[in-house]
Structure 1
């Protein structure tokens, strides 16, 4: 079985004009073909080329999205969903033109079912907006990818982040979805029941599909109780391997750490300058424990022993919220802080994820690769689940550096896959990592293609993403 040739397509300018005229008549000033807005709705986060859509429509309801998709389906015009624009692998690009459906105005919190530990939100609600709304309920939504991403976008890219080691990723925290399918039909994928053995799991099918199977318009989420006690800490190590070994031991000992993040010495230097900190410029772990006061104290003691065993030092704890917030703000600002290491450079961010037992080896080989290529490239990671990130700081005008970077990215992806891991733990595939899908999935990729063809035979839903055109 082979991926079918319908995954390549050409642009029909006459059909696009007809659709744009119809959308302008229907949505008025909620539809635009202005150059600046179209460019903003292409891919702008990294050095990948911006491929702009032909028009942008600002949806305010599932019914709006359905109208747009129905019209585009009738004329074979591509549709690209847009949340906040924070994705990193070209998910938002329009390589065949088409219509960008901006969901940012769909920002209503539909319902909070506190007794069931669930809530339902429109796709444009951001994680910070949701947690601000939930604050007085004693509940919170734990998935934290760093950027204030939209819930719909987080579901579409199967996001995770700093809390994933304890609370899981989006696939573990999405109960049900409302989505607009390629023919414009609005569907609900599941009920709010805690479990079900009825039928195919369409919720998990759409989570992580990156807009290639449908557009997510509402999400029902699992919530967690705000912990009674939260304690954060920071420690440093003589080298990255020692830091990774401390992480591995922590996970293998079953310590229920909520967050465990790693920064290499270069990233610590960047954070010190950008966030006005005075951290020792050595490989560093940031950790956080959630629970009762007693359980957190026990976790802290166990983790302290592991740090000492692995050669860690300069151990500091922060139980006050403002102290923890300052540390985590520095971690979340790591992307922008790193750019200060090479002013004028363009950041190319990538990630990989391996089984926890191979983490130290994979990070060490990657750091060696960075040194040999001569790149300025800090490493950070959600290392509790084997996931780490590399940010290559490149001269945007240097074709030579870009070519070297592509070679480096390929080596990292091949390394992770060879170790039983994946080319991406949370950034997603988009356009940037399609080339590794055959290696990672082999014959299973043909069944993904079969699902795509069955659901979206016209290939209008975010075409040119995830599935490469191969024989």
Structure 2
């Protein structure tokens, strides 16, 4: 194909046309369909990104940014002929400024690699979605995770961005300061935009001091509803919780088989407190235990060593893969919703009851300290319509309770249909912003918003 040969000449040693890589870059972890991009390009600089965008404009190709491929809602599926920009070669830690509690990174650096590089500084980057995602991808989806209840998600921890627009223009958005009131907040517009408005090529990130004292608990309950009620009571108490995670009985059964974890197979809350003094930590832990027992806790276990604490959170992060191994040959319909904290117990009860009512096996798992949880329903192909109907019912219930259709997975392809219900007339403004910044529909078309009929690629 002539255009692909031209692409190779433009990027010597930076283009992969193998079928395996074109397929790998056309799918993510959760969307049921798999696509195939036309080519994979590995930019090594901002100039490379500009050059790739110019080529795409001239050849009538879409461009899909690629980090680690860990997204879940169809962000990477090509709805039309597209090239994938894989940022794994733009993975440098450019600057660390401990005195200002910040660092500057390229988008392909992963969160684990960043924290490894920060060892010895007394600082860490807290956003922890579980997967070892790239920091550019995490910003593009406004990722969060287990520590969000204490430290916030990506939007709270990105101070500045460098972004390349579809026309090749480079924007510097935000400043390396904690506060600014200078003009419209364009930086936050691009966080969570899923690669549809611009391509992130540099991030300035907020860093946090490593906690001096940490206390980690596992608390087991007779039913998932009691665990959800206890999570709300802990949050309502004002305790400085750093992590508050719900795992149901199915998740713990899967983890015991996958990791030989030895957990009681009961619904559980995994909690962690970060405190500045030992006295404060002991007082906070005692109050948390009192709340848990009043909420009906059956058993409380404390992580006694750093290694045990590490294993506990590694188990939480491995819950998805443990479930995959528990259901070989199955795919998963995965959804996430969030509701106001006071409505969380009601939402969890609804999710659990609906699984039983519809005759589905499913898992409830999530960052309940934020009012956010996920459901994972293992299916064979013939069960997909029923599982998708379950996911849709959950979203509609969350919206009815004043919540959102997605707290951290993003919209992608699967959740576009819920945006009118959630945003109403504001959706038209989103379309106008997309048309302003990407008038030709070049950037990750079809995601978040439908590609407009006026697009040359429609």
Q: If the length of structure 1 is used for normalisation, what is the TM-score?
A: 0.94
In structure 2, the residue matched to 1:420 is 402
SS in 2 for 1:258: strand
Tell me how far apart the structure 1 counterparts of residues 81 and 360 of structure 2 sit (CA, whole Å).
34
Matched pairs, number? 452
In structure 1, the residue matched to 2:385 is 403
Query: How does 1:169-184 map onto structure 2 within 5 Å?
Result: 169-184=153-168
1:247 aligns with 2:236: no
1:372 aligns with 2:357: yes
Tell me how far apart the structure 2 counterparts of residues 191 and 470 of structure 1 sit (CA, whole Å).
33
In structure 2, the residue matched to 1:4 is none
Judge conservation of contact 1:38–1:52 (CA < 8 Å) in 2. yes
Judge conservation of contact 1:105–1:124 (CA < 8 Å) in 2. yes
Judge conservation of contact 1:73–1:184 (CA < 8 Å) in 2. no
Query: How does 1:40-119 map onto structure 2 within 5 Å?
Result: 40-119=24-103
1:152 aligns with 2:136: yes
Tell me how far apart the structure 1 counterparts of residues 358 and 258 of structure 2 sit (CA, whole Å).
26
Tell me how far apart the structure 2 counterparts of residues 61 and 280 of structure 1 sit (CA, whole Å).
50
Judge conservation of contact 1:258–1:288 (CA < 8 Å) in 2. yes
**Offset of residue 22 of structure 1:** 2.6
1:451 aligns with 2:436: no
**Offset of residue 192 of structure 1:** 1.0
In structure 2, the residue matched to 1:14 is none
Tell me how far apart the structure 2 counterparts of residues 271 and 20 of structure 1 sit (CA, whole Å).
45
1:340 aligns with 2:322: no
1:33 aligns with 2:56: no
Judge conservation of contact 2:31–2:73 (CA < 8 Å) in 1. no
Query: How does 1:454-469 map onto structure 2 within 5 Å?
Result: 454-468=436-450
Moved more, 424-433 or 71-80: 71-80
In structure 1, the residue matched to 2:245 is 261
Judge conservation of contact 2:28–2:73 (CA < 8 Å) in 1. no
Tell me how far apart the structure 2 counterparts of residues 263 and 148 of structure 1 sit (CA, whole Å).
20
In structure 2, the residue matched to 1:301 is 286
Q: Flag as ranges the 4+ runs of structure 1 deviating above 3 A.
A: 468-471
Judge conservation of contact 1:266–1:281 (CA < 8 Å) in 2. yes
2:419 aligned residue (437, 454, 461): 437
Query: Aligned-pair RMSD on alpha carbons?
Result: 1.4
Tell me how far apart the structure 2 counterparts of residues 217 and 40 of structure 1 sit (CA, whole Å).
22
SS in 2 for 1:189: strand
Tell me how far apart the structure 1 counterparts of residues 136 and 93 of structure 2 sit (CA, whole Å).
12
CA distance 1:143–1:53, change in 2 (3 Å): same
Q: If the length of structure 2 is used for normalisation, what is the TM-score?
A: 0.96
**Offset of residue 50 of structure 1:** 1.0
2:152 aligned residue (133, 151, 168): 168
Judge conservation of contact 1:435–1:468 (CA < 8 Å) in 2. no
Cα deviations across residues 210-259 of structure 1 (Å, max 9, x unaligned)?
00001111110000000101110101111112111111111111111000
**Offset of residue 470 of structure 1:** 8.8
**Offset of residue 79 of structure 1:** 0.5
Query: How does 1:385-404 map onto structure 2 within 5 Å?
Result: 385-395=370-380, 398=381, 400-404=382-386
